[in-house]
Amino acid sequence: MTENENSTAATGGYPKVDYGVAKDAGVDFPDLEERVLARWDEDDTFKASIANREGAEEFVFYDGPPFANGLPHYGHLLTGYVKDVVPRFQTMCGKKVDRRFGWDTHGLPAELEAEKQLGIKDKSEIDTMGLAEFNAYCKQSVLRYTGEWRDYVTRQARWVDFDNDYKTLDLDFMESVMWAFKSLYDKGLIYQGFRVLPYSWYEQTPLSNQETRLDDAYKMRQDPAVTVDMVLRAPGTELDGANALIWTTTPWTLPSNLAIAVHPAVTYVSVRAGEDDQAKTYLLAKDRLGHYARELGDQPRCWPSMPVPISWASHTSHPSTSSWAVRTPTR
């Protein structure tokens, strides 16, 4: 019985490997990691773990591929370990787990990086350059850092096949996506719907949720809130002629406004403000009085608190631009 076989029989696991580190010596972990990686490379351990499971039950694992036109960072390191642990566990369970690394070469990140490299500031410059030439440059640019990615992922000890990788720009990949979509359509699982999406005026395209969270995709800013008064039409009630205060951070939607949103559990109050000949009655939520102290006064004249029937909120006159007051929201 060989030394490795004896070790395996005694421990019931894989044979122990001596990396030349004394048990009582201080361990240089980076150096030890490099030795392990070198041993795996010399022994071709990863490929062997797949080859010796030929014919076994297959476990398919394809993770979401990254863009190769940017360098990897800590976020990729963290998720990379999860993407490595699952296939390793399934392999240890005796399954065959092929792991091919992939590259996402579609979408705005590819176009934005190409525009930055080419110094393009306006979309008309792409038309001048020509779409074919621009696409060719994107194709070359999008795989710019594949070497750095391979070094990074290999150093973190992740087992994945870079030599047999796939790219979303490959025709067979795109055709497989269209085949899968058509198969879902044939099964009646595809439907047409509508949803509100953010829009990039510069890119002239809607943005997905993922694209709005890309590095440098947005910047923090403080937008003004617009407060508008709308005259209530409620004949025979004490609220007839009162000015309901509403606020919005999207004033461009006001021309198409059809109703006021009120809450049945919120208590509203009527407030009289302004000089006697110019005084108006305003309706707003009681808890928001302090927010409008500048306009209504620190101790405004309030009518008794009251819930507002939701039906009243739909009977208003449309706001005029002269009634707008620009406010910066407090936090």
Q: How far apart are CA 126 and CA 123, in angstroms?
A: 5
Residue-wise pLDDT for 138-195, tens only, equals 888 888 888 999 999 999 999 999 999 999 999 999 999 999 999 999 999 999 988 8
More confident residue, 324 or 193: 193
Q: How far apart are CA 255 and CA 289, in angstroms?
A: 26
Cβ(242)–Cβ(270) below 8 Å: yes
Start and end residues for every CATH 3.90.740.10 domain found in the chain: 225-320
For residue 123, give the amino acid letter. K
**Closest residue by Cα to residue 285 from 314, 323, 317, 245:** 245
> Would you give the DSSP letter of residue 256?
G
**Please, what is the angle between helix 131-141 and helix 108-118, to 10°?**
100
pLDDT at 313: 43
More confident residue, 214 or 123: 123
| CATH numeric code, 225-320 | 3.90.740.10
More confident residue, 263 or 217: 263
What CATH topology corresponds to 25-105+142-189? Rossmann fold (3.40.50)
Lowest mean pLDDT: which of 98-112, 148-162, 209-223? 209-223
pLDDT at 284 over 60: yes
pLDDT at 2: 52
- Measure Cα distances from 251 to 77, 181, 225, 229, 320 in Å: 43, 40, 8, 13, 12
Place of tokens 């709005």: 212
Cβ(67)–Cβ(105) below 8 Å: yes
pLDDT at 254: 81
Start and end residues for every CATH 3.40.50.620 domain found in the chain: 25-105+142-189
Residue-wise pLDDT for 58-69, tens only, equals 999 877 788 877
